[in-house]
Structure formats: structure tokens, C-alpha cells
Structure 1
């Protein structure tokens, strides 16, 4: 590959974190942590990506310290990791130490499944699932979720009470404190894809008339309180990353905002609460978000908030993750050339690579040195690779 990618290999400083380059491993759910505890295999998985030259690793979604944070979410048997409890924290300490030993940096993605949790599953099956207004979301929309799962979860439940909302916020705070104490290099927040934070932002699932609902700005209150709580416990040196999305698992065509002004109403308060990097999750990084501008979702996040942003969506491959066929050819020179064009004009500051890095731990090294980039095989999703 003759494209000059060296600009991606310049360092970046974010609060007290210095990254050697701009390549980030995107968070990817793997289901390899029995009883929520990451083992030696998980530590080796992350270390290999650090050894492959990737500047920052964002972990798979990690359940926060709240009993309803994790369940099966339609995944079947759940081996999702969490960030609380002596055994899990010891496992994550091994992960952090291994990545640091390989010269890498790593942050956990704090996750609460919220409405997407299958009731009666997870480490605390007796705990009720958390829903802002008791609504799972609209049915009959474009989605890849199994109909049997939707049938189980679509019935309305009780809205979250004030005390339940505060309990969840406190759970995020405790897990952020654990992240700092374990030596993680920052904290990432999963605020996308129809999970709990996202359902507070979305008008289809937040119909509250109290201080946690209302117009777009009012619906950001839960997200901002989570970010503030994380900042208090993580301290001033650790950066906070925030993933958001227009689309939801309940509805791939959903939109939080249809104009840049509406997007500012969503992201402005979250930015002010203490976010350092926005991660606008899309299927294709090279698609314009709003008519009249070529900027993608992360590009608009940077323009609106003035904060750093991270591109994601099929980087290194030729298909989006939720396409009918997830396997993808290596993106080749066209994919990387489009990426570099957007990067060099300052649209985003970091580049998040998902399945390509899952498939090849040394992808970053291969990109830099012009080696052939391999295609993705979906079977790799179930390998201890």
C-alpha cells in the first residue's frame, strides 16, 4: 500500500494520557469472561493488540457496579465481564499490567444494558431491568434482533424511580474509581445503541415528565450526571471517552438529531459535563451525517463541541458490522485513502478499528509498514484470538 499513513502515527495528548499513535481498538463484545471475571486468555488477547502497535485499546463493554447492568441481551449464555468484585478486579489488573508491559494504553468501556437486558438473566437475575419510562422501544422497525427476544421484552414495565436512577449513577462512579485504582488510562462510556444511557437521550424511550425527561437538552441530564460522577471518581488526569449513536438496536433508522443544531442540543451538555473525546458510532465512517456537509457524525461532534473525536465504521474493511453479511474483504487502498483524506482535513483525531483488529492483532503494524491487510472472517468472533 503506497498511501502515506504516517500522520496517524503522531502522538496525541489527552489530559494526563499520551498516546503513541492515533489508532484505537474499538470496543467489541466477546463473551469470554465466565462469572464476569476476565482470565489469562483475556489478558493475552489485549496484550497482543498492544504488541501489534495499536495506540489505545478500548475494552469490550464492562458491566458497571449495579445488579441490573448485565444480562443476556439476546446473546444466549452470558460471560460478559464486569468491573466490581475482588475476582473481576484482579482479572482486570492482569489485563492492564499486560497491556502496559507491552507499551500500550487501555481504558474500560463502562456499560449498562438497561432496556436491552433480558429480564431474569445475568449475575443478578432477580434484579429488575432498568428502563427510563418502562418502554423497551418501538417494535416493527428495522433491526437485527431476534423476534423471540423482542416478544419477551416488549411489554412495558415500571419507569425508573429517583432512587433507582441515583443507584445506577453511583454504580458508574464506583466502577470509575475501580478503573483509576487498577491503573487504567482513562474511562470510556457506552452511551449508544439503545442501551441505558441512550434510552434516556431518545424520545421514543424517554417519555418522562420530571427532571429526567423533556426536550433534547433535558433528556441529557442522566448522561451528564453519569459523566460528572465518573469525573469525580476518575480524577482530573484521566480522559473520558463517550460513545453515542443515532441508530438504535431497536431501530436502525432512529435519529437523535436531524440537524447540527439538534445534535448540539444533545452533545453540548454532555461535553460540558467533562467528556474529552466523542465517538460517534456509525456503520460507515465515510458517509455524511447531515445534508449540505461532508462531515460524518464524529466530525460534527468535534465541530459542535470543540472536543476531540474518533472515527469508526468499517475502517479497514468493505462492509458495515450490521450488514447482512458481516464478513468483509480488506478495505484496501480506497478505504484507507478515504480515511486519510478525512483525517488530514481535521475531521477527527483518532481512528477506531474494530473487526479488522479482531481478525489481526498486528493490523496497526501492518498498516504502517505497507503490508497486506487481511479480510475478516466472522468465525473469529468466537475465537480466543
Structure 2
């Protein structure tokens, strides 16, 4: 029996297998609202056979968007547009759907990657002044952000709550808070971005304070059976930055507050990061969180082969694996993994006749006759 295709409980959410589609920004929204691109893109991925689909980083406010074309969930129009997409997904796929809620902080007001990904000046019609823990720019040539004061902190927290409540109204199965990749909550955690001298800066306890306040507020604002979890960057890959020891402390504090899982990535807070790339290069960080904290842990990062993913789960290095680029390249990756590992996967009945003859039990419940 393949461990990768065993069910997984994330809080009260039952996921049919341990393949997760990681959040992937599409830079294709209009004023924060999902478009026909999202209908095609998410509909495509929803038919993949993965157990869980996490929607791309979704901004909790206009100024929290990475770019002006980012998905958001801060207005009635955003909610209605995303609801349209979700209704189509649910009509044809049993996949569980979570949403990643985030605020880009000082990495906001940027161009799409295919336009260079550089910062857009606040003087440009498509740009705005960013906010962050401290008035420290992400890059040396970038415009420094405004350091958040008490009112600003309260607004960010309340924006996360409002977006989470919209997600709950849409029937989304789980909520992931984005505290990774150099965005706002990660900026508070990392001494590289957080130079504050008040109760939100300095010591590890102080730097964790605001992300934990946001988690507490979101957890309290949505139904108890709706799991809330966090994506973290386990290391900044920069000396004297955020590291695995901080990640373990943060994850332990989250566990005490009812966090359902930890999705473990790395990097993103500094252009000076020196990442040591290789297959599964982030998995050891997920393994330590799983072993030392005891929460369900999702591993990500250059996981591309079914046998590799199977070994990660079977060897208890993580409870699930998430795929991003590999899933874009091969949107039927879970089908092909099930075939290699001798497992079954859900597939839409319209596609049952694509089942290869040598894998006659690949699609659960498949039966097809034709005159």
C-alpha cells in the first residue's frame, strides 16, 4: 500500500491522499478579483487527483498585494468572483480546497515575474507605498516601506480576519496563513527585516508576537472545524537571519494555539540569500518540525518524482508533500504517481476511458462501456 495515497487529517479536514498542490501566484487578477484565467487554471488542477489544492497567495488588502494583478479577498467583488470559480471546481471535482491568505509587506507593489519582478515606485499609477515592521527596504535600490504603527498593526490583523471570514463564507476547506517567503508575517519574524525596538521587535518572543496575534485572531474568527495552519520559511539562508531554531519555537507556539499543520518552505526575505539547491533540499527542515513539534507537516521544494515523494512520507520525513512547478509541468502528476506506486486516484468519469490497459484499477470506481 502506498503511503503517499493514504488519507491525512489536517485538524478536522480529511484529505484523501498526501499530495498537495502548493500555492502559486498567477498575477492574473483584476482589482483583486479572480478572472477566467483562474477558472481554467484552478479547474485544470482540480482534476489532477491531488488531495488538497491550496489557492495562490491571496491578499487581505489592496496594499497587501505583491502586484497590482494579485488575487485578493478584501471586497465583495473579490468574494463573488472567487465564489464563481469555486462553484465550478466543486461541481466537477471532489478535491479539498484551501486558501493561502497573505500580506506582502515591503515586497508589495512589484511587477509580475515575466516583467522582471522589480518594485514599482509609489509614484507610478500601478504602485503604492508599502508597509513593513521597519522602514528597511527589501533591496538596496528600493523605496523603503512605512513602519507600521499601532493603528497599522490593528488594520493588518483585522484585514486578515475579514478575509478569513470571507473564505469561510465561500466554504473553503482550510486556511493557510502566509508567514514565509519574505512577506509581512515573515518580515516580523526575521531580524533582517524587523529592526523594531518595541514589544514587536528584538527578542525571538517579541518578533513572534504579531504573527501569533494574527493567527489567534483568525483562529477565533472562523468555525472551530475549519483548520487554520501556517506556511513558514525555516531559514533565511542568510547569516544571523531567521533560522530553524526560531522556526521550531514559532511552530511550538502555534501548536499551543490550535494550529493544524505547518507547511515548511525556506528563504525569500533577502536578496543576499544563498540557497543550496538540490532534490528535496527543504525536506530536512520539515522533518525537524515534524519530529520536534509533532504537528502534521507538509514538505515542499524540488520534489518531482513519485518514488521520492513516497519515500518522504514513508520514512516519516513529512506527513504530506506539496508540488508547485512539477504540477504545472504535469497536471496529471498524481495519476502518474498512482500508476507507478500501485495506488488508486480519483478521476472525472469523462476521463475514465484514458486509463491505460496495464493499470486497469488506477481510477477509483471506473467503469466504461461504449457501443
Q: What TM-score, normalized to structure 2? A: 0.79
Q: Contact between 1:68 and 1:124, CA under 8 Å: does it hold in 2?
A: no
8 Å CA contact 1:193–1:247 kept in 2: the answer is: no
Contact 1:99 1:105 in 2 (8 A): no
**CA-to-aligned-CA distance 1:262-281 (integer Å, 9 cap, x gap):** 44333222332332111111
Render the CA deviation track for 1:298-324: whole Å, top value 9, x for unaligned.
1111222211000100111xxxxxxxx
Other-structure match for 1:45: 41
Partner of 2:158: 170
CA distance in 2, matches of 1:214, 1:253: 16
- Largest Rg, 1 or 2: 2
**Alignment partner of 1:58 is 2:54:** yes
Is residue 271 of structure 1 aligned with residue 227 of structure 2? no
**Cα RMSD between the aligned structures?**
2.4
**Match of 1:13, SS?**
strand
- Which structure 2 residues correspond to residues 61-100 of structure 1 after superposition, within 5 A? 61-64=57-60, 66-72=61-67, 78-100=68-90
User: What is the CA-CA distance between 1:350 and the residue it aligns to?
Assistant: 1.0
Residue 113 in structure 1 maps to residue 98 in structure 2: no
Aligned to 2:295: 307
Give the CA deviation at 1:191: 0.6
The alpha carbon displacement at 1:61 in A equals 0.8
How far apart are 1:208 and its partner, in Å?
A: 1.4
Structure 2: which 5+ runs fail to align? 110-120, 267-276, 342-371
Q: State how far apart, in whole Å, the 1-side matches of 2:203 and 2:229 are.
A: 24
* 1:130 lines up with 2:131 in the alignment: yes
Give 1:352 shift.
Answer: 0.0
Matched, 1:188 2:176: yes
**2:6 aligned with 1:22, yes or no?**
no
Alignment of 1:219-230 (within 5 A): 219-230=207-218
TM superposition shift of 1:216: 1.3
Q: Could you tell me how far apart the structure 2 residues matched to 1:311 and 1:121 are?
A: 40
Match of 2:94 in 1: 103
Shift of 1:167: 0.5
Corresponding residue SS for 1:286: coil
The residue matched to 1:24 in structure 2 has which SS? strand
Mapped to 1, the partners of 2:86 and 2:45 lie a distance apart of 12
Contact persistence 2:280–2:300 (CA under 8 A) = no
Where does residue 297 of structure 1 map in the other structure? 285
Deviations 1:188-242 (A, max 9, x none): 1111111100110001211212111121122111110111111112221111221
Report the equivalent of 2:242: 256
Between 93-102 and 215-224, report the one with greater CA deviation.
93-102
CA deviations 1:91-134 (Å, max 9, x no partner) are: 111222223221111111111010111352899955x4111011
Query: Paired residues, what number?
Result: 319
Q: Give the equivalent residue in structure 1 for 2:232.
A: 244
TM-score (normalised: structure 1): 0.76
Alpha-carbon distance in 2 for matches of 1:152, 1:229: 32
Q: Tell me what 1:320 maps to.
A: none
The worse-fitting range, judged by mean Cα deviation, of 43-52 and 15-24 is 43-52
Secondary structure of 2:141's aligned partner: helix
More divergent stretch after superposition (274-283 vs 115-124): 115-124
